[in-house]
Amino acid sequence: MQFANQNWIVPPKVGILAGGGELPGRLVRACREADRGVFVITFEGQDQPDDLFGADHACHGVGAISKTIKRLRSEGCEQLVMAGNLRRPALKSIKLDFRSAKLLPKLARIGGDDSLLSVIVTEMESAGFTVIAVDDLLPSLLAPIGPMGNQHPGPGDKADIAKGIELLRALGSLDVGQAVVVENGRILAIEGAEGTKGLLERVRDLKDAPNQGVLVKCIKTSQDARADRPAIGPDTVAQAVVAGLAGIAVEAGATLVLDQEETVRRADQNGLFVTGFERVAD
């Protein structure tokens, strides 16, 4: 919409398809700061956002695609962004409406969370929405290249990081996970459906020594960055400290760092490095 006497265009209203965590709330605030309208859809049976800061919202079933599309249209949303932790539910638990029922063959074939999100993205695009990435609204969240704090990885850490990257790139097309923990060249654990928190809880009993090992995170080779990006934040640092790791390494320009200042502060306080590595070519 353009006003005749003003060289100003009203930005499109954003619909947020929200999972758990703090990211949906950060997007709400970013939209408000940019004078953009925003409406949030959360999902039954999924983790809920930490705080939506009073944004208008509704909660729908994962299989209520027609209802979700209708509500987003009625709210005037033109762009959609997916944010927060969304898990692939068991198919038998999904209550399908007419539109999602037509997607049943695709849903039955999907192998993981990323595949589910890709199906949702495609369906929303076919309904006429423009699906954008989180970093289109919050580009400052993307991890930079190199150490983000005072702690730097040593030679052994760098070797562990390289091994973690190699494994994740090999597994990326299988939609397995975005993270792995490597200690002294040994793969301790690969992220599964339990997420990064569950991964770090598992490795506590598998480590050889304290203050060793690296959590490595990167985007999957088959992943649509608009649907889901790897992310870390202050809680990740706290979990890595409890797990006894030496540091965290993430793919720069592809991983979201939530509250980078606090993330780095906690890492420095606990002698943990947080560093970004350059994207490895496919």
Alpha-carbon distances of 268 from 55, 78, 151, 234, 271, rounded to whole Å: 35, 42, 6, 11, 5
Closest-CA residue to 68 (of 92, 103, 36)? 103
Q: What is the pLDDT of residue 28?
A: 96
Q: What is the pLDDT of residue 45?
A: 84
Distance in angstroms (rounded) separating the CA atoms of residues 213 and 27: 33
DSSP 84: S
Per-residue pLDDT tens listing for the chain (282 residues): 444 445 567 789 999 999 888 899 999 999 999 999 999 999 988 889 999 999 999 999 887 888 999 999 999 999 999 988 777 666 565 676 767 667 666 665 555 555 566 777 888 999 999 999 999 999 999 999 999 999 999 999 999 999 999 999 888 666 667 899 999 999 999 998 788 989 999 998 898 888 999 999 998 776 677 877 889 999 999 999 999 999 999 999 999 999 999 999 999 999 999 999 997 655
pTM for this one? 0.84
Distance in angstroms (rounded) separating the CA atoms of residues 189 and 169: 15
How many C-beta atoms lie closer than 10 Å to residue 108's C-beta? 8
How many C-beta atoms lie closer than 10 Å to residue 49's C-beta? 26
Distance in angstroms (rounded) separating the CA atoms of residues 200 and 183: 13
Distance in angstroms (rounded) separating the CA atoms of residues 151 and 266: 11
Domains of the chain, each with CATH number or no CATH? 13-137 (3.40.50.20), 142-277 (3.40.140.80)
Q: What is the pLDDT of residue 4?
A: 46
- The DSSP-derived string for 134-178 is HHHH-GGGBPPSEESSS----HHHHHHHHHHHHHHHHHGGGT--S
Distance in angstroms (rounded) separating the CA atoms of residues 107 and 115: 9
| H runs (alpha helix) in the chain | 23-33, 65-74, 98-102, 104-109, 113-126, 134-137, 155-171, 195-203, 234-243, 260-269
Whether the CA torsion 32, 38, 39, 41 is positive or negative: it is negative
Q: What is the pLDDT of residue 6?
A: 54
Distance in angstroms (rounded) separating the CA atoms of residues 87 and 112: 8
Distance in angstroms (rounded) separating the CA atoms of residues 240 and 127: 41
Closest-CA residue to 252 (of 233, 230, 228)? 230
Q: What is the pLDDT of residue 2?
A: 46
Q: What is the pLDDT of residue 3?
A: 46
